[in-house]
Every structure is written in structure tokens, then in C-alpha cells.
Amino acid sequence: MTNRTHYYLQIKDLKHARGAEPALSYDGAGPNDFAAALQEALRSPLLFQRWRAMQPDPDSVDERLGVTDQLATVSAKVADLNTDVEVISSLPMSIVRQRLTWLIGTSWQLHDVRPA
């Protein structure tokens, strides 16, 4: 059985949160759109494959960076002026961080990590 982790995140200004590379960046309108985009990025290799194709030597990119979790779930909701995000996944934080950074840059903060 795979260990699953529950990540609790917060995004200060989702409306303006974007990654540095427009071709990889989140372009939705709200928490539900973001949750769907991050869930897709964790479940599917498509975002990784787009990033990999942009690298100077795509064949030299470590394939382990493209690992996915078909059972990953993401939910997001507005709380005060922020967006609270909950991720449940077997992926390590390094991979979750990678996908978040591609989607919304550094506009997020990890608040807690617990076994799921």
C-alpha cells in the first residue's frame, strides 16, 4: 500500500498567481479551476512533458521527475482573502512543489503536512 500524504496550502492572491512560463502557467478564474488544474498536473504526465520539451536537452531530463499519482485529489476554497488548498497524494512534496511552481510560481505557502 502506498503512503498518502495530506498537504495543506494557502494561496494569497489566486487571481494573480501565475507561473514564470506562460505555456505551463495556470490561467483559470477561481479555486475550482485551480484545484482541477493542480489535480490534472499531479495525475497526468502532460504538464511534465510540456516542461520537458522546453528544456535544452529533453532526453537528459530524469524521467522520475514526471512521476504521477492517478489517485491524487485536490480541493480549494476561498477563505477570508486567501485560497485554501488541500492535496491528498502519494507524491513527495518535491514533486507537488514542482507542479505548483510551474502553475502559480511562488504564490503559495505550505501550512501543514499529515498522513492521509
Q: What is the DSSP string of 1-48?
A: ----EEEEEEES-GGG---SSTTTS---SSHHHHHHHHHHHHH-SHHH
- pLDDT, tens digit, 9 for 90 and up, residues 52-73: 999 999 999 999 999 999 999 9
What is the model's pLDDT at position 51?
A: 98
The pTM (predicted TM-score) of the whole model is 0.95
Grid cell locating 90: 502519494
With a CB cutoff of 8 Å and minimum separation 6, the contacts of 25 are 18, 19, 102, 103, 104, 105
